[in-house]
Amino acid sequence: MPVLIGDIAPDFEAETTEGHIRFHDYIDGHWAVLFSHPKNFTPVCTTELGYTAKLKPEFDKRGVKVLGLSVDALDNHAGWAADIEETQGTALNFPLIADTSGEIARKYEMIHPNANDTLTVRSVFVVGPDKKIKLKIEYPASTGRNFDEVLRVIDSLQLTAKHQVATPVNWKDGEDVIIVPAVSNEQAREKFPGGWTEKKPYLRIVPQPGR
């Protein structure tokens, strides 16, 4: 069965570069990003891990724990981490899972047999504090991911989880948002006393709450 948005994220135990973890215990009320890498010592993955390490303060600021996954062995990760630091200028600063059996990759359907029957595609899962999948994105092995976009989506997810709003196309933190249709005008007057701009009855634009 596919892992879908709204599902409980499959739990697992794993050895990582920062010790043994159980995923649900590791989350421990935080948001989490779990993302897979086709293979160690590959060029695109090296750039992705380096950039994610640079973004670690941004993830920390949002209360997000980051976990990478590779199907290579744990003793293989150390040498790759050294390469990442040398070429990308940032040391690996989050756990990298050694999923040598592919068990976790199969649980999350990270292996797409028609692309490659042993290596993972570039999967990204954002998991909420309730341990439910909030976002899933999949890229082919040849295309590096946009982790600025992952942060942008997390900003949206965290905002919309707290307020009854949705974020429009290309939204960035601090920009106007949309009042969800489930909120009546009467309710909206209580929630958004500063008012809103009504483009259509179903399209009501309001400044981002809390800003």
Residue-wise pLDDT tens digits, 58-74: 999 999 999 999 888 88
At residue 189, the pLDDT reads: 96
Instruction: Please say whether the beta carbons of 26 and 115 come within 8 A.
Output: no
| CATH 3.40.30.10 domain extents, the chain | 13-145
Domain 163-206 CATH assignment equals 3.30.1020.10: yes
Task: List pLDDT tens digits, range 21-58.
Answer: 999 999 999 999 999 987 888 899 999 999 999 999 99
pLDDT value, residue 211? 83
Going by CATH, does the domain composed of 13-145 fall within 3.40.30.10? yes
What pLDDT score was predicted for residue 114? 53
- With a cut of 90, say whether residue 166 has pLDDT above it: yes
pLDDT of 154 higher than 70? yes
Looking at the chain, the domain(s) classified CATH 3.30.1020.10 span 163-206
**pLDDT surpassing 70 at residue 200:** yes
Does the pLDDT value for residue 121 go beyond 90?
no
Quickly state the pLDDT bin for 118 (edges 50, 70, 90): low
Pairwise CA distance, residues 182 & 10, whole Å:
31
**Residue 91's pLDDT is what?**
94
Q: Strand 122-127 relative to strand 96-98: parallel, antiparallel, unpaired? A: unpaired
pLDDT higher than 60, residue 178 = yes
Q: Kindly give the residue spans of alpha helices, DSSP state H, lying in the chain.
A: 23-27, 43-54, 56-61, 74-88, 103-107, 147-162, 185-191
What pLDDT is stored for residue 12 in this prediction? 97
From CA 168, how far away is CA 6, in angstroms rounded?
21
Active site residues: 45
- Per the model's pLDDT, the better-predicted residue between 95 and 1 turns out to be 95
Q: Which amino acid belongs to residue 186?
A: E
Beta strand pairing call for 64-70 and 96-98: parallel
Task: Provide the whole-model pTM.
Answer: 0.93
Confidence at residue 5, expressed as pLDDT on a 0 to 100 scale: 96
**Is residue 197's pLDDT more than 90?**
yes
- The Cα 204–Cα 198 span in angstroms is 4
Rounded to the nearest 10°, the torsion over CA 5, 149, 87, 90 is: -90
How would residue 210 be classed by pLDDT, with cut points 50, 70 and 90?
Answer: confident
